[in-house]
């Protein structure tokens, strides 16, 4: 377990700013920091850090609030377990229809006909958080087109490319 290097911190903060915008700094308080443990990035409170500092790394499985993973190529990827941490701070919110919730949870991209409502200021390649109609976060995706082009499209046109979703945990779980 170690603190992030400058390059790793820049990658993580850039990805978080795509999702949260200017409210990224509210995610981190004075008493918290980002740490790397087994290729996963966590938000760790300082008092928790002092408690586990005496433990060997091999016995620590998980700590703090998980955000994502550093891939083998060195990129930072948000994981599904960061969704509930980032959802209240989301810059762009998209509401999915009830009939399309399972499509999102199965990992399929979002079509225009699946969207219940969205913001008018979305641009191409904006990262947005997907919610169901009960305001439960379902996933994180990337908007494909500008809002003006989106309005002209038919219902079966792809609108959002899914990056991660809540169903990812069950799909990636290894059978024991």
Distances (CA, A) of 1 to 24, 56, 114: 23, 9, 41
Q: What Rg do the C-alpha atoms of the chain give, in angstroms?
A: 18
Q: Give the residue ranges of DSSP H helices in the chain.
A: 6-20, 46-52, 83-86, 101-105, 147-152, 168-172
Q: What is the pLDDT of residues 82-121, one digit of tens each?
A: 888 889 989 999 999 999 999 999 999 999 999 999 988 8
* pLDDT digit string, tens, across residues 24-33: 877 777 678 8
Q: What's the pLDDT at 99?
A: 94
The topology (CATH level 3) of 92-172 is 2.30.130
Residue 142's pLDDT is 94
Q: In this structure, what are the phi and psi dihedrals at residue 171, rounded to the nearest 5 degrees?
A: -70, -35
pTM, 2 dp: 0.84
Length of the chain equals 176
Per domain, the residue ranges of the chain are 2-85, 92-172
- Say if CB 119 and CB 151 are below 8 A apart: no
Can you give the pLDDT at residue 174?
Answer: 57
| Residue 176: predicted pLDDT | 55
The pLDDT mean for the chain works out to 86
- The class (CATH top level) of 2-85 is alpha beta
């Amino acid at each position: 377990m170690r603190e992030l290097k400058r390059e790793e911190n820049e990658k993580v903060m850039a990805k978080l700013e795509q999702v949260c915008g200017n409210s990224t700094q509210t995610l981190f308080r004075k008493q918290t920091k980002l740490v790397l443990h087994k290729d996963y990035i966590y938000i760790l409170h300082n008092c928790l850090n002092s408690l586990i500092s005496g433990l060997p790394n091999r016995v620590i499985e998980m700590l703090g609030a998980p955000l994502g993973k550093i891939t083998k190529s060195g990129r930072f990827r948000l994981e599904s377990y960061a969704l509930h941490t980032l959802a209240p701070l989301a810059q762009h919110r998209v509401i999915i229809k009830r009939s399309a919730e399972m499509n999102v949870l199965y990992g399929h991209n979002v079509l225009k006909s699946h969207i219940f409502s969205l913001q008018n200021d979305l641009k191409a390649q904006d990262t947005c958080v997907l919610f169901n109609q009960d305001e439960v976060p379902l996933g994180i995706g990337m908007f494909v087109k500008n809002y003006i082009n989106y309005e002209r499209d038919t219902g079966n046109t792809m609108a959002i490319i899914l990056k991660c979703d809540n169903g990812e945990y069950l799909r990636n779980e290894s059978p024991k």
